């Protein structure tokens, strides 16, 4: 055998080993289809026992990754480096993703448990007829407050946050839509307002709240409120439910002026390699008992009507987290504002944060 032939055979052998190694690595990281399902979700947003149950029932291996913002999730899916089979974005991002052709159209015949979802949460403007998404959780943005720390003071309005008694007592979540939206609501404007004058008014009003703002934080808002490092927090309803379970002095209210009604839905990105497995997972999560277990773990409100029968009565009858239809009518779903308008929201939010310094 000539030296050059042996050289090319050696190259072929090395290439084969490398290809095998890459294939194995990709499989381990969820980059292959078949028996692997790769899920991209918010942090601490599923009962991990249910992942194990799904793996046991289906024989699939689940690779689970988390993100901390819709924008980060969108960027990674758009780049296509990881072939996510399931993602769980919020409503305005679903609207954006479907318009950018980043989602697989769902086969409803493979999701028979879809019948368990309350019709109020189906066929919404961000995804008409639910061609691309299935409801996962829903909730509100409101005010969590420690009545004991505030000497029995009651809060039921955004306007109450400007009370001088709350100096250095308020925590905000680090979100432009939530904070600027609060400013808009306090002035009677829509959460989806794009009028530059209205937005500037909202930002200027927020600036006057600065003496009362202790910090703008991320997930640590839970511990700070639970440990009574601050008396008030503008938070999502599920966060409020979690901290209220740990500290009986905490209350939660959806302000009477109105607020955000949000939805997180399960979708199948175009990067998916296991579309059939993704449909199986969606259907599994819509099973009433599975959904009830997940809801009790996560503490957000479930859109699964059938699951309510398997949950504690005091949980499903709590109007702070399952508000009446009358209050729900005052709530708004975030709309996709477009790049320019969203950039302006972010710019105003950054200015507000800098103003605090």
Distance CA 159, CA 143 (A): 11
pTM to 2 decimal places: 0.78
Residues 176 and 7: their CA atoms lie apart, in Å, by: 60
pLDDT at 33: 56
Which residues are within 8 A (CB) of 229 and not within 5 positions of it... i.e. 6 or more apart? 214, 223
Nearest to 168 by CA among 224, 248, 238: 224
Looking at residue 313, what DSSP letter applies? H
Vertex 228: Cα angle to 222 and 230 (nearest 5): 80
pLDDT at residue 320, rounded to an integer: 87
Number of C-beta neighbours around residue 268 at 10 A: 25
> Does domain 139-261+323-354 bear CATH number 3.40.190.10?
yes
pLDDT of 266 reads: 98
| CA–CA gap between residue 9 and residue 22 (Å, rounded) | 20
Q: How far apart are CA 303 and CA 307, in angstroms?
A: 9
Measured distance CA(14)–CA(34) in Å, rounded: 26
User: What pLDDT, on a 0 to 100 scale, did the predictor assign at position 11?
Assistant: 47
- Evaluate whether 34-138+263-316 and 139-261+323-354 have a shared fold: yes
Q: What span, in angstroms and rounded, lies between the C-alpha atoms of 316 and 307? A: 10
State the Cα torsion 109-114-116-118 to the nearest 10°. Answer: -130
Which residue is listed with tokens 């449909």? 279
SS3 63: strand
Domain segments of the chain as ranges? 34-138+263-316, 139-261+323-354
Q: Which token pair is 60?
A: 């699939």
Sign of the four-CA dihedral 68, 74, 80, 86: positive
pLDDT given for residue 20 in this prediction: 41
The pLDDT of residue 319: 87
Alpha-carbon span 333 to 310, nearest angstrom? 28
Is the CATH code 3.40.190.10 the one for domain 34-138+263-316? yes
Position 218 scores a pLDDT of: 87
Q: For each successive 10 residues of the chain (357 residues), what is the average pLDDT?
A: 43 42 43 79 95 98 94 92 95 94 98 96 95 97 96 96 97 93 96 97 97 93 96 94 92 93 96 97 98 95 97 92 82 90 95 83
> Per DSSP, what are the bridge partners of residue 186?
none
pLDDT at residue 357, rounded to an integer: 61
User: What does the alpha-carbon distance between residue 154 and residue 278 come to, in Å, rounded to a whole number?
Assistant: 46
Residue 219: predicted pLDDT: 84
SS (H, E, C) 227-284: CCCCCEEEEEHHHHHHHHHHCCCEEEECCCCCCEEEEEEEECECCCCCHHHHHHHHHH
């Amino acid at each position: 055998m000539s030296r050059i032939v042996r050289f090319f055979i050696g190259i072929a052998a090395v290439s084969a080993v490398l290809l095998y190694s890459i294939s194995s690595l990709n499989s381990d990281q969820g980059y292959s289809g078949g028996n692997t399902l790769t899920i991209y979700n918010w942090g601490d947003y599923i009962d991990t026992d249910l992942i194990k149950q799904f793996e046991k029932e289906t024989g699939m291996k689940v690779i689970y990754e988390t993100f901390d913002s819709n924008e980060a999730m969108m960027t990674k899916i758009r780049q296509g480096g990881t072939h996510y089979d399931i993602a769980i974005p919020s409503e305005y991002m679903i609207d954006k993703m479907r318009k950018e052709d980043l989602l697989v159209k769902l086969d409803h015949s493979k999701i028979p448990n879809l019948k368990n979802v309350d019709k109020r949460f189906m066929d919404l403007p961000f995804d008409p007829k639910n061609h691309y998404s299935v409801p996962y959780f829903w909730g509100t943005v409101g005010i969590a407050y420690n009545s004991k720390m505030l000497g029995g003071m009651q809060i039921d309005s955004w306007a109450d946050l400007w009370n001088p008694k709350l100096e250095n007592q308020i925590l905000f979540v680090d979100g432009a839509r939530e904070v600027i939206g609060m400013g808009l609501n306090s002035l009677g404007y829509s959460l989806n307002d794009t009028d530059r004058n209205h937005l500037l008014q909202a930002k200027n009003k927020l600036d006057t709240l600065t003496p009362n703002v202790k910090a703008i934080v991320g997930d640590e808002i839970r511990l700070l409120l639970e440990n009574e490092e601050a008396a008030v927090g503008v938070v999502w309803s599920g966060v409020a439910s979690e901290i209220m379970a740990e500290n009986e002095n905490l209350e939660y209210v959806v302000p009477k002026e109105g607020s955000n009604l949000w939805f997180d839905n399960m979708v199948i990105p175009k990067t998916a390699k296991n579309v059939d497995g993704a449909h199986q997972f969606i259907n599994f999560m819509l099973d009433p008992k599975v959904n009830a277990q997940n809801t009790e773990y996560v503490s957000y409100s479930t859109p699964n009507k059938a699951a309510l029968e398997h949950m504690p009565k005091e949980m499903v009858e709590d109007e702070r987290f399952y508000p009446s239809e009358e209050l729900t009518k005052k709530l708004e779903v975030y709309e996709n504002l477009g790049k320019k308008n969203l950039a302006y929201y972010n710019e105003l939010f950054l200015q507000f944060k800098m103003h605090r310094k």
